[in-house]
Each structure stands twice: as structure tokens, then as C-alpha cells.
Structure 1
Amino acid sequence: MIATLRGRVANIRLDAVVLEVGGLGLRAYATPATLASLRVGEQGELATSLVVREDSLTLYGFADADERDVFETVQTVSGVGPRLAMAMLAVHTPDGLRRAVATEDLAALQRVPGIGRKGAQRIVLELADRLGPPTTGGPAGGAAPATADRRDEVVEALVGLGWNLRAAQDAVTTALPTDAGAVESDDVAPLLRAALRVLGGGHG
């Protein structure tokens, strides 16, 4: 099992990063918040989880071991695979998920695309004794404003996470300040996080 990766950041996409480790470029899929903490050309370190399928080996990267552990734990719920687990962590922080489960906040869980009321009830039931209590009291921090120039990339990423096209477009429009001007591509990740908070109703 590959538990951690450390190396130079070679490339960052909206849903993944490539780290150069021992002469190899390893791609790890990650949440917008995790990707926003990395910079091309600098050293990066991720806690990782390797998902093995008959036809693929897929690496997922996380800011810390706690996020990775939550990713792996939520997949013990029937019907929750890696993609849905990543969507859950894109909408909620690990403690946000713990609070939702501990307080049986079905509405918060249903803000994740792909989770309906029955799915939320199943998550609460099956994770009640597995995630543990929240370690902090507050929601996730805020995100910086970004521009509409790269709006299509963010919409595409949201659709990939499971939202429909119209909802994704509306969320990006809402997340953008009315006076947004042209900025660099590094600001795409903050816009994606802001749009996710719009879709998630502000819960972290």
C-alpha cells in the first residue's frame, strides 16, 4: 500500500496532481482544497490511498492522514465508492462529515451529488460508530475570489463530481464577484471551492 507521496509538483489539474517521485510521475486525484495548497515546481507531500480494481490502480491524495482515513472509512458504507467519497470530501471537511453523521444532519449529506435521503440515512446508520466525534467546532475556512475567464473549466470539474450542468453553471456565477477581472490560472481552485460551498449551502 502506498501511504504517502513526497516529491516535486510537476502538474496540477482541477482534479489531480502529478508528483515526481524517484524519477516517476505519479498522478493522485485530490479535492480542490488539497490541490489549492500545492504549487507547481515546489515540493509537495500527500497522504495517499491506493484503490485497486481488476483493470486499474488509482491513487488518491489528501492533505493529511485524517482526510485519507475518512475517505477510506466512508467507503465501508454500502454503495459508496471512491468517486462518491471524494465528492463528500469536496463538499465537506472531515469534521463536517463527522458533524453531519453525529447530528444526523441528512440535509447536509444530501448536498453531496449522488446522495439522496435514503443514502444519507444509510451513511448515518453505518458510520455512527466509525467516524468518531468532530475534532473542531467550526466549518472550513473561506476561499479567495476568482475570475470568470476560466469558468468552463470549473463547470466541467463540478459536472465531473456529479452535479448537473445547469446547477454547476449557476453555482459558478454565484461564486464570482460582480467586479471579477482577469486573473491567472492559479485562481481556478479557489473558484472551484467557492462554487462547491454555494452548492453545499455553506456547510464545510
Structure 2
Amino acid sequence: MYEFIKGNIVEISAANVVIEAGGVGYFVNISLNSYSVLNGKKDAKLFLHQIVREDAHTLYGFANTSERELFRNLISVNGVGASTAIMMLSSLSPDELRAAVTTENVAVLKAVKGIGAKTAQRIIIDLKDKLGKIPESGQILSVADNTIRNESLSALVMLGFVKKDAEKIVSKILQEQPEATVESVIKQALKRL
């Protein structure tokens, strides 16, 4: 099993990166969170998880060990494969994902493409205790913050904005102003989008 890879970024997209290390180009699948960290850099160090199947050897890379640990916890849940786990880590930040599981917020998990109610409940049941023990890299949103965030996002999406862009702006606004109301978040987001 590989622990990490360090080298030059040859090619990067939102879903994968090619890193040259020792004269070999490694194709590594990444989450959108890791892409945000790597984008614009020439060199990278990614912590790896390798999945070996009869027909493929696949590498998944993460900007930090806590995101990799969260990925490993997700794929340990019955019915959640590597692609689904990467989709979850691309749709939600690691802290948002932990918060959704620890507060048993099924709606946030169901909002991720490919996650239904049963899978969301299974993730919560299997990981609630485990995720409480993983060191957190930032602050967790409270249930009230999640409600404000979700209402703001759904309003912006209904107004025709792309969900990914709206999520980034709303998250940034809530970090800057944790006491913001839904109305103020929407107004500020409209100015920034």
C-alpha cells in the first residue's frame, strides 16, 4: 500500500491529477476539496489510498490525512464505494460531512448525488461514533447553521445559480458572519455571484 506521492503536477482537473514522480506519471483520483488545495500549484504531496481489483489498480489522493481517513471510513460502509465517497467529499467539505453525520442530518447527505435515504441512514448509523473520534480540521456547523445554509442554497438554486458556485459563496459568508440570517446570506450571495 502506498502512503503518499510527491512530485510535479503534469495535468489537473476537478476529478483527477497526474503527478510525475521518479519519471513516472501517476493518475490519481481526487475530490473537489483536494482540487481546491492543489489548483495553481506546480508541486504536490497527496496522501494515497489504493484500491486493487482484478481489472484495475486505482489511486485516490487527498490533500491531508484527515480527508483520507474520512474517505476510508465512508468506503467501510456497506453500499458506499470509492466513487460515491469521492462524490460525497466533493459535494461537502470534510467538516460539513462530519457535522451531517454527527448531527444525524439525513437531508444533507441525501443532497449528494447517488445517496438515497437508506444509504444516508446507514452512513449515520455506521459512522456516528467513529467520526466523533477523528480530529477535526476546523469548526463544525451547528444544526441552525446547516438550516440557514440549506435554505439559502435552495433559494439561490431556484433563482438559477449553479449549486457548486452557490455552495462556495454561502459557506464563505457563513464563516465570515456566523450569526447571519437566511435573508442576509441570500442578499450577500447575490452580490458576489
Q: Give 1:41 shift.
A: 7.0
Q: Which amino acid in 1 is paired with 2:42?
A: E
* 1:122 and 2:122 correspond: yes
Shift of 1:36: 2.8
Correspondence 1:1-204 to 2 at 5 A: 1-39=1-39, 42-132=42-132, 135=136, 136-138=138-140, 174-175=161-162, 193-194=164-165, 197=167
Structure with bigger helix share is 2
Distance 1:7 1:84, change over 3 A: same
Higher relative contact order (CA 8 A, sep 6+): 1
Root-mean-square deviation (CA, aligned residues, Å) is 2.6
Structure 2: gaps of 5 or more residues: 142-156, 176-193
Give the superposition deviation at 1:76.
0.9
Query: How many percent identity over aligned positions?
Result: 36
- State the TM-score, normalizing by the size of structure 2: 0.71
Equivalent pairs counted in the alignment come to: 154
Equivalent position SS for 2:19:
strand
Q: Secondary structure at the match of 1:28?
A: strand
Letter in 2 for 1:101: V
Corresponding letter in the other structure for 2:2: I
Q: 32-41 or 69-78: which moved more? A: 32-41
Kept after mapping to 2: 8 A contact 1:74/1:85: yes
| Secondary structure at the counterpart of residue 130 of structure 1 | helix
Q: CA offsets per residue over residues 67-102 of structure 1, 9 Å max, x none?
A: 011101111111000000001101112221211111
Residues 16 and 29 of structure 1 are in contact (CA less than 8 Å); yes or no, is this contact kept in structure 2?
A: yes
How far is 1:13 from its partner?
2.1
Verify the 8 A CA contact 1:17 1:28 in the aligned structure 2: yes
1:137 Cα shift?
A: 2.2
* Deviant stretches of 4+, over 4 Å: 201-204
Q: Deviations over 1:142-164 (max 9, x none)?
A: xxxxxxxxxxxxxxxxxxxxxxx
Task: Report the structure number with the largest CA radius of gyration.
Answer: 2
> Which one-letter code corresponds to 1:194 in the other structure?
D
The alpha-carbon distance between structure 1 residues 41 and 117, as it changes in their structure 2 partners (threshold 3 A), is closer
- Say whether the 8 Å CA contact 1:29–1:61 is kept in structure 2: yes
